[in-house]
Amino acid sequence: MMALVASTVVCFVLWLLLTFNGKAWGNDEIIAGIIFSIIGGAITAKLVEKDYKPMSALRWLMFIAYLPRFFYEMAKANFDVAYRVITGKINPGIVKLKPGLKNNLSVTILANSITLTPGTLTVDVDEEKNLYIHWINVKDKFFEEDDEKCRCRYICSTFPDWARRLGE
Amino acid sequence: MIWEIIYICLGIGIFFNLLASIGLIRFPDVYTRLHAGTKCTTFGGIFISLAVIIYGLWKWYDGDDAMISLSIHAFFAMLAILLTNPTGAHAIARAAHMSGVKPAKAVVDELEEVKND
């Protein structure tokens, strides 16, 4: 029930934003919006996780704080890939990473962040939530490092900590 | 002034999309091509939508009410690009690895080692 209400509200807010044209909405628009968002909410309610709970205000603030850091890494990633496209210097390989995260949301955040940052692409995830990452420029230092936390630094800087704060 | 900002955003966006297309041709296999095809198009797409958002907000501020919808739609397009691009790249890479495509010139493949155990 909670899932149905949550997804209906999200659908309705989306409807309001997408039909906004500078003037207040007419009654017919709002009624049509309610009908369609209940239909959309009923369809998507199954996709919401069973133990769903809304993100707290602190999490949202943390998420906003995460964005500038993320965009900085992303801009760096793009210049890195641009450099590799032009020079053709690559040294690819697939490496295993143990970020030690527990739930699906934090792993999703981490995997998507990794894909959008310097030269790394998440290929697979196993049952213990270890990530397999295709890395375009494998550094030898990565294998010499024993500590898992330091290993993560090479691939995704401090993203595992951010993902833990945001998702767990 | 605002025109210049819009043109700079468009220029950056088009430059990175161009790099993505060059990367698709230059790189040797599906994984490295995905690197070019996802990161550069996401970054380029964000800047192109940013140009549209700025244009819409500017015209809206100038008194054309309907232009705000242009900004909102471009913003949602940006969010959709940002969320679906890495997910799609992950799906393609995983499918490629499961169907046995080996990463070209790879120095290490720890996923293959796990699969063989």
Of residues B7 and B101, more confidence is placed in B7
For A151-165, write each residue's pLDDT tens digit.
666 666 677 777 777
How many whole angstroms from its chain centre is CA A33? 28
Of residues A146 and B37, more confidence is placed in B37
For A37-95, write each residue's pLDDT tens digit.
999 888 888 777 666 566 677 878 888 888 888 888 888 878 887 888 888 777 777 87
Query: Is B85 an 8 Å CB contact of chain A?
Result: yes
Start-end of H helices in chain B? 2-26, 30-35, 41-61, 67-98, 110-116
Minimum CA–CA partner of B65 in chain A: A22
CB distance A132 to A115 below 8 Å:
no
Minimum CA–CA partner of B107 in chain A: A93
**Predicted ipTM?**
0.76
Minimum CA–CA partner of A77 in chain B: B39
Domain ranges for chain A:
2-47, 59-167
- Site of tokens 């500590």: A147
Count of Cβ atoms closer than 10 Å to residue B81 Cβ:
18
CB distance B35 to B27 below 8 Å:
yes
- Flag whether pLDDT at A118 surpasses 70: no
Residues in chain A: 168
Q: What is the pLDDT of residue B65?
A: 81
CB pairs under 8 A between A and B: 136
Strand, coil or helix: A162: helix
Q: What is the pLDDT of residue B32?
A: 83
CB distance B109 to B103 below 8 Å:
yes
Measured between CB atoms, which of B42, B85, B93 is closest to A134?
B93
CB distance A136 to A90 below 8 Å:
yes
User: Cβ contacts (< 8 Å) between A75 and chain B: which residues?
Assistant: 43
CB contact under 8 A, B103 and A134: yes
Query: Is B32 an 8 Å CB contact of chain A?
Result: yes
Strand, coil or helix: A62: helix
User: Which amino acid, residue B108?
Assistant: V
The reported pTM is 0.80
CB contact under 8 A, B39 and A90: no
- Site of tokens 């739930």: A103
For B35-92, write each residue's pLDDT tens digit.
888 888 888 888 999 999 999 999 888 888 888 888 889 999 998 988 888 888 888 8
User: Which amino acid, residue B82?
Assistant: L
Considering chain A, what is the average pLDDT of its residues? 79
- Flag whether pLDDT at B103 surpasses 70: yes
User: Cβ contacts (< 8 Å) between A93 and chain B: which residues?
Assistant: 103, 106-109
CB distance B29 to B103 below 8 Å:
yes
CA–CA separation, A165 vs B89, rounded Å?
A: 25
- Flag whether pLDDT at B8 surpasses 80: yes
Backbone angles phi, psi at A143, to 5 degrees: -85, -25
Q: What is the pLDDT of residue B55?
A: 92
What is the nearest CA distance from B29 to chain A, expressed in angstroms?
A: 10
Quick one: pLDDT band at residue A35, thresholds 50, 70, 90? very high
- Site of tokens 């797409």: B45
Query: Is B94 an 8 Å CB contact of chain A?
Result: yes
Interface test with B, best of A134, A140, A144 (most B CBs within 10 A): A134
Q: What is the pLDDT of residue B49?
A: 92
